[in-house]
């Protein structure tokens, strides 16, 4: 599964997300040294991560859902739902649409 965000500036949106995490405006997400987003509440920490990729030609920012443990629907649903919630709450003017793509 993946979250696809249509935006005029995918790199800028990704930087803004990281900056908001660094500045503690977003406290329920973190990113690791590889840039992958992880949901940080204790119940979900370490259950999976969202790997970002910038699509310059399509003006998209995708976050592929990856689970290091056994992949479950609930983990994917929580990660994707909470990430979309964070985008809608903090960055609603920075994108035109969000789509969840299933394999």
* Structural domains of the chain, count: 1
Digit-coded pLDDT (tens) for 47-91: 888 999 998 777 888 888 776 565 677 888 888 899 999 999 999
Nearest residue to 29 (alpha-carbon basis) of 74, 87, 73: 87
Tokens of residue 17, six digits: 């997300």
pTM summary value: 0.88
Parent domain of 78: 2-101
We report the CATH number of the domain holding residue 95 as 3.30.310
Question: How many CB atoms sit inside 10 A of residue 58's CB?
Answer: 11
């Amino acid at each position: 599964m993946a979250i696809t965000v249509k935006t005029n500036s995918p790199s800028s949106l990704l930087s803004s997300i990281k900056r908001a995490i660094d500045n503690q405006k977003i406290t329920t997400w973190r990113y690791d040294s590889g840039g992958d987003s992880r949901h940080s509440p204790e119940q979900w920490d370490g259950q999976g991560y969202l790997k970002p990729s910038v699509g310059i030609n399509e003006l998209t920012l995708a976050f592929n859902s990856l689970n290091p443990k056994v992949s479950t629907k609930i983990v994917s649903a929580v990660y994707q739902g909470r990430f979309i919630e964070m985008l809608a709450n903090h960055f609603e003017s920075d994108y035109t649409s969000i789509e969840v793509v299933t394999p």
